[in-house]
A and B are shown apart, each in its own frame.
Chain A
Amino acid sequence: MSSPEFKNPVVKWIDHRLPVFSFMHHELHEYPTPRNLSYLWNLGSLAGLALVTMIVTGIILAMHYTPHVDHAFESVERIMRDVNHGWLIRYIHMNGASFFFIVVYIHIFRGLYYGSYKAPRELLWILGVLILLLMMATAFMGYVLPWGQMSFWGATVITNLFSAIPWIGDSIVVWLWGGFSVDNPTLSRFFALHYLMPFLIVGVVILHIIALHRFGSNNPLGIDVSGKQDTIPFHPYYTSKDLFGAMVFLTIFASAIFFYPNFLGHPDNYIPANPLQTPAHIVPEWYFLPFYAILRAIPDKLGGVLMMFGAIAVLFVLPWLDRSPVRSGRFRPLFKMFFWVLLADCVLLGYLGGKPAEGIYVMLSRLATAYYFIHFLVILPLLSVVEKTRPLPQSISTPVTGGGMVSAPAAKRGKADV
Chain B
Amino acid sequence: MFKRINQTICAGGIAMLACVGVMATAAITPAMAAGGGGDIKDHEWTFDGPFGYFDKASLQRGFQVYREVCSSCHGLEYIAFRNFADLGYSEGEIKAIAAEYEVMDGPDEEGEMFTRNAIPADRVPSPYANQNAARASNGGAYPPDLSLIAKARPNGANYLYSLLVGYKDAPHSDEVPDGMYYNTAYSGNLIAMPQPLYGDDIELAGGGDTSIEALSEDVVTFLAWAAEPEMETRKRTGIAVMLFLFVMCFVSYGSMRYIWADIKKSKA
Query: Residues of A with Cβ closer than 8 Å to B?
Result: 35, 38-40, 74, 77, 80-81, 87-88, 91, 98, 102, 105-106, 109-110, 113, 220, 232, 236-237, 240-241, 243-244, 246-248, 250-251, 254-255, 257-259, 261-264, 266-268, 270-271, 279-281, 283, 286, 289, 330, 343-344, 346-347, 350-351, 353-356, 399-402, 414-415, 417-418
Contact = CB atoms under 8 A, between A and B. Distances in A.
A243 B251 CA distance: 10
Nearest to A413: B3
Given A105-B18, A353-B25, A401-B267, A240 B11 contact: no
A240 B154 CA distance: 42
Interface stretch (B64-72, B192-200, B255-263): B255-263
Given A267-B156, A270-B148, A347-B24, A254 B267 contact: no
Nearest to B35: A280
Contacts of B238: 254-255, 257-259
A56 to B, nearest CB: 17
Contacts, number: 173
B14 A250 contact: no
Nearest to B241: A254
B114 interface: no
Given A98-B22, A344-B17, 18 more contacts: A39-B15, A77-B147, A81-B78, A88-B237, A106-B18, A113-B14, A247-B249, A251-B245, A254-B238, A257-B238, A258-B235, A266-B33, A343-B14, A347-B20, A401-B267, A414-B3, A417-B6, A418-B6
Contact of A270 (B10, B152, B234): B152
B109 interface: no
Contacts of A246: 252
A80 B79 CA distance: 12
Contact of A77 (B35, B78, B156, B249): B78
Given A77-B148, A80-B230, A241-B256, A266 B30 contact: yes
Given A38-B11, A258-B241, A261-B234, A244 B249 contact: yes
Contacts of A77: 78, 147-148
Contacts of A283: 29, 32-33
A281 to B, nearest CB: 6
B192 to A, nearest CB: 14
A286 B22 contact: yes
B127 interface: no
B152 A346 contact: no
B162 to A, nearest CB: 15
Contact of A351 (B24, B156, B253): B24
A113 B14 CA distance: 9
A344 B18 CA distance: 9
B13 to A, nearest CB: 8
A187 to B, nearest CB: 20
A281 B33 contact: yes
A401 B264 CA distance: 9
B234 to A, nearest CB: 6
List 10 A-B pairs, minimum CB-CB distance, nearest first: A258-B238, A347-B21, A270-B152, A350-B25, A244-B252, A87-B230, A240-B256, A418-B2, A251-B245, A38-B11
B28 interface: yes
Interface in B223-268: 227, 229-230, 234-235, 237-239, 241-242, 245-246, 248-249, 252-253, 255-256, 259-260, 263, 266-268
